[in-house]
A and B are shown apart, each in its own frame.
Chain A
């Protein structure tokens, strides 16, 4: 079964510093990986995805993610954090179910807190 793990419940970083939110995956075959962000009282917003190609994927709001096949990781990064980046971040992987159709399997989420 396909799965993703987010080893950190919370990440704290000071504004202006680089940030990393970690994600590791377990899939058979080629992974389709995604990052979503959730602000308070809102639904999830798509940030970026990796399907194939360049291992460094650029997304919305200045975020990027690095795909590392040997380490089965897909860490989310940003060179300079903003207070407004404080939110809940979810990593997800495309998963095939018994029906043969795919869905998304999400990690448990990592709360990012950026201090002024």
Chain B
């Protein structure tokens, strides 16, 4: 099976712009989660989607949004970019077993805001 893919891998944007990141989960996985990784804060949970519905949301401002399509692919959008949004954005998919919550991560999108 192909792993989780994320596009683009690298992105440079200017303050005030917006950006859209894409994630394709492992085939058959219906849950997609997004995380922001920075050196100072570690991994911080952004949101989780399941069957096109946002089920969980972390403590991020409304500038951060996402969606999931019927084929389970997901996008996240950040509007009005700030310097502090520079980070590695990781997507993870899960088969959503009822017993465990094991996640499979993509390689991430490195966003640099200048």
Contacts and interface: CB of A to CB of B under 8 A. Distances in A.
Contacts of A101: 48, 50, 55-56
Given A103-B45, A105-B45, A109-B42, A44 B101 contact: no
Nearest to A103: B56
B100 A49 contact: yes
Among A43, A49, A97, A99, the most chain B Cβ lie within 10 Å of the Cβ of A43
B101 A32 contact: yes
Nearest to A105: B45
B54 to A, nearest CB: 9
Interface residues of B, number: 24
Interface in A40-70: 41-46, 49, 51
B107 A102 contact: no
B43 interface: yes
Contacts, number: 58
B42 A108 contact: yes
B90 A103 contact: no
Contacts of B56: 97, 99, 101, 103
- Mostly, the B contact residues are strand
A106 B58 CA distance: 13
B22 interface: no
Nearest to A106: B43
Interface in B1-47: 4, 33, 35, 41-43, 45
Given A43-B108, A46-B104, A97-B56, A90 B90 contact: no
5 contacts: A32-B101, A45-B105, A46-B104, A49-B100, A104-B101
Closest 6 CB pairs of A and B: A43-B105, A108-B42, A106-B43, A44-B105, A101-B55, A43-B107
